Amino acid sequence: MLELYHYEPSANSMKPMLCLKEKGLEFVSHYIDLHSFEQHSPEFVRVNPNGQVPALIHDGAIITESTVINEYLEDVFPAVRLRPADPVARAHMRIWSKFVDEYFCPALSMLGWNLLVPGIVERLKKGEFDKLLERIPLKEQRDKWRTAATHSFTEEQLADSRRKVTVSIERMEKILEKSRWLAGAEYSLADVNSYSIVAAVPRLVPEAMNEQVAPRSREWLARMNERPAVKAALAMARQPMPGSGNANR
Amino acid sequence: MLELYHYEPSANSMKPMLCLKEKGLEFVSHYIDLHSFEQHSPEFVRVNPNGQVPALIHDGAIITESTVINEYLEDVFPAVRLRPADPVARAHMRIWSKFVDEYFCPALSMLGWNLLVPGIVERLKKGEFDKLLERIPLKEQRDKWRTAATHSFTEEQLADSRRKVTVSIERMEKILEKSRWLAGAEYSLADVNSYSIVAAVPRLVPEAMNEQVAPRSREWLARMNERPAVKAALAMARQPMPGSGNANR
């Protein structure tokens, strides 16, 4: 049996949700409400000690890290293939996914947190946020919540993140000049892993992805939005999703 | 034909060097002297536009990123297997390797750069460093060279890196409480990818890896140092290697 702990079909949660839908795999969905800090609850920390979604349980084994979950699904359920057969294309798939994890996503994430977290925290009663902070397992996550909640990302940090998102889309444009998908001629995990991140760019850094500077990335996003698996994953949304593929149509 | 562009058998260069030796694969070695900034030369930037070692060329195809290179070698030359057969163990191999790339290695790297780069830059003629900086392709690398050269990592940054190295070794100890190798009972790329990073800890953050706090990590390192492939890779060193396995014996 497959069980997925996830939030909305956005950011890192979307990566395995889309992969599961592409592969046509049934799974038990456990919705973890990040706005209610359920990811840091004792119940969920028993599943993932880092207190982060997504997390996959397969026949009792717990797999974390969205990029690794998708490689795992590929290892165990290869019938619908999302890793290119050609090993060089497969390397390109991993180089791009690594770039998304280490550079593109953290930059976009800072902008998203800066926009959304203050509103989430304002809804809490006085003193409640400090208690919630205390139970966050990772120091880095604790620091990020505190910084975002107090609007303390500096203008310099935010500008640097916008620059990095622009660099990321430029790199994507160069790849798409040569090939239809991000790891070559075949649709692959490089595309699956990028969808939710790229889909958020038009709202968070519009100047990085307008028709003039990023026509190929926009076409790629439009092609992604038409995929039945993307539509099926987005249909699992509980809340309206600004910045997702839905909002771009 | 396999060709590897690499520096000394340390840091990221060591990862594919050790993988190639474990698999018993012949390769043409191209030594890139980081102390002479050869990684930013126009010749090498044609191989890797990011100006970073290692880079593998296999029958004309260029593969970059040490972690991806090792997965590629596994895909193409699986005879000596370094990816566990069990998919859950394979996921653990990737989760650990990702943690090394995103958390452990950057923390250790800052401490290494802080120690070594000022000496490298002092040997240059006045004005030469600024010219060398200009040809570094990635802004992030340019910034890191400039900061390290001018001793400008703050005490707070250096202390945070030491803390992260300590957290990393603690995580390693917990894994090794349960299994002989870093992804379970089988020696795997999780171990290959960690060797050069862990081997540098006793010199750079000795308090993180003494006999009291990290007995299992020390045993793991001693076991690694006895492997013929590790010895063969270390034998490729051109310069004495403080902080490598050699220095720990």
pLDDT tens, position by position, B41-97:
999 999 999 999 999 999 999 999 999 999 999 999 999 999 999 999 999 999 999
Rounded to an integer, what distance in angstroms lies between the CA atom of residue B155 and that of residue B130?
Answer: 25
Tell me how far apart the alpha carbons of residues B191 and B181 are, in angstroms, rounded to a whole number.
7
Please count the CA atoms within 13 angstroms of the CA of A227 that sit on its side-chain side. Answer: 22
pLDDT digits (tens, 9 = 90+) for B93-152: 999 999 999 999 999 999 999 999 999 999 998 889 999 999 999 999 999 999 999 889
Are A219 and A171 in contact by the 8 Å Cβ rule? The answer is no
- CA–CA distance, A200 with A11 (Å, rounded to integer): 8
pLDDT of residue A62: 98
Question: How much of chain A, in percent, has pLDDT values that exceed 70?
Answer: 96
How far is B26 from chain A, CA to nearest CA, in Å?
Answer: 19
* Of the partner residues B76, B95, B102, the one whose CB lies closest to the CB of residue A64: B95
Structure tokens at B194: 């960690």
- Cβ of B95 within 8 Å of Cβ of A65? The answer is yes
Cβ neighbours of B189 in A, within 8 Å: none
Query: By the CB < 8 Å criterion, does A71 face chain B?
Result: yes
Residue A200 and residue B135: Cα distance in Å, rounded? 33
A78 in Cβ contact with A62 (< 8 Å): no
Q: Cα(first)–Cα(last) distance of chain B, in Å?
A: 35
Query: Is B160 an 8 Å CB contact of chain A?
Result: no
Q: Does A67 touch chain B (CB under 8 A)?
A: yes
Residue A246 pLDDT grade (very low, low, confident, very high; cuts 50, 70, 90): very low
Q: Is A238 on the interface with B (CB under 8 A)?
A: no
A192 pLDDT tier (thresholds 50, 70, 90): very high
Higher pLDDT, B242 or B181: B181
Q: What is the dihedral of CA B11, B13, B16, B18, to 10 degrees?
A: -60
CB contact under 8 A, A94 and B65: yes
Task: Suggest the residue from A56, A93, A95, A166 to mutate for an interface test with chain B (most B CBs closer than 10 A).
Answer: A95
Spell B136-162 as b/e; 16+ CB within 10 A means b: beeeebbebbbbbbeeebeeeeeebbb
Identify all chain A residues contacting B71, using CB atoms and an 8 Å cutoff. 90-91, 94
Helix (H) or strand (E) holding B63: strand B61-64
Mean pLDDT over residues B199-206, rounded? 97
CA angle A182, A2, A197 (to 5 degrees): 30
CA atoms within a 13 Å half-sphere pointing along the CA-CB vector of A103: 17
Strand order from edge to edge, sheet including B28-31: B28-31, B2-6, B55-58, B61-64
What pLDDT is attached to residue B249?
Answer: 33
Q: What is the mean pLDDT of the segment spanning A206-235?
A: 98
- A86 to chain B, any CB pair closer than 8 A? The answer is no
- The reply to whether residue A71 touches residue B94, judged by beta carbons under 8 angstroms, is yes
- Asked whether residue B243 carries a pLDDT value surpassing 80, the answer given is no
A68/B94 touch (CB, cutoff 8 Å), yes or no? yes
Helix (H, G, I), strand (E, B) or coil at B231: helix
Tell me, what's the pLDDT at A245? 44
Closest-CA residue of A relative to B93 is: A68
Per-residue model confidence (pLDDT) at position A247: 38
Hey, are the CB atoms on B69 and A61 less than 8 Å from each other?
A: no
Query: Could you tell me if A171 lies within 8 Å of chain B, comparing CB atoms?
Result: no
pLDDT of residue A242: 58
Instruction: Encode burial over A27-38: b for 16+ CB neighbours within 10 A, e otherwise.
Output: beebebebeebb
Residues 6+ apart with CB under 8 A from B96: B175, B182, B183, B190, B193, B194
